[in-house]
Every structure is written in structure tokens, then in C-alpha cells.
Amino acid sequence: MNNMPEKDPSFWVLVMTALRENGLAMVLTFALTWLRIQYDAKETTVWRQFIEATLGALIVMVVGLTVKEFGFSIAWSFATAGFIGVLGVEWARQLGKRWAERKADEI
């Protein structure tokens, strides 16, 4: 029988800890992304707007967890929140793609 992590209480403790530590940066990203989407008026459906804002918040949560593990300042999480919120998830995806291509060319 497979273990189900969502049934394990320690899993939910880890999730709540991550949200507590990165929640403010995530909310900042969600709000900035939502406002940028409204200003640009490129996404017409509310569902797509919500998905993009949520993706931005999740990216910031991952950055926040990574920053914590490497022992850097939590300010990096807030800086990422500002960049993702203002520039958008698509910009972050393109930046990551260029970085990966550059690293692949080095190999």
C-alpha cells in the first residue's frame, strides 16, 4: 500500500511552515501580478489571470524555500516577489530558459 503524504500530519506542518515563512512575499507577488495583468489587459478571462497570479506566488515560495536552505537573507524572496509581480511569470520563464540554454552550451 502506498503512503499518501497528504494524510501524514508532518506533511501539513511543513506546508504551513512554508506558507508562514513565505506568505507575505507570496501575497505581494499575487497582488502585484494581478494588478499588472489588469493594467496590461492581455489576459481576458479571470481564470487565466488567477492562474498566472498563483503561479507567480508559487515561484516566490520556491525561491523563498531555496533561499532559506542556502542560508541567504529572506530579502531575496521579497526582491523576487517584486520582479515576478511587476515583470510577470512569462518573463521569469524566458529568463530561466536563457539561463538553462547558456548552461547547456557550457557542457
| Per-residue model confidence as pLDDT tens digits over 30-73 | 999 899 888 888 878 889 889 989 998 988 988 888 888 888 88
Work out the mean pLDDT of the chain and round it to a whole number: 85
The one-letter amino acid code at 17 reads T
Position 101 confidence tier, pLDDT thresholds 50, 70, 90: very high
All three cell numbers of 49, joined, read 489571470
Q: Crossing angle of helices 75-87/89-106, nearest 10°?
A: 110
Alpha-carbon gap, residue 31 to 36, rounded angstroms: 9
Looking up cell 531555496 gives 66
Alpha-carbon gap, residue 107 to 96, rounded angstroms: 17
Euclidean distance between the first and the last CA atom of the chain, given in angstroms as a whole number? 42
What is the model's pLDDT at position 2?
63
The percent of the chain in helix, strand and coil, each rounded to the nearest 5, is 85, 0, 15
Q: pTM for the complete prediction?
A: 0.74
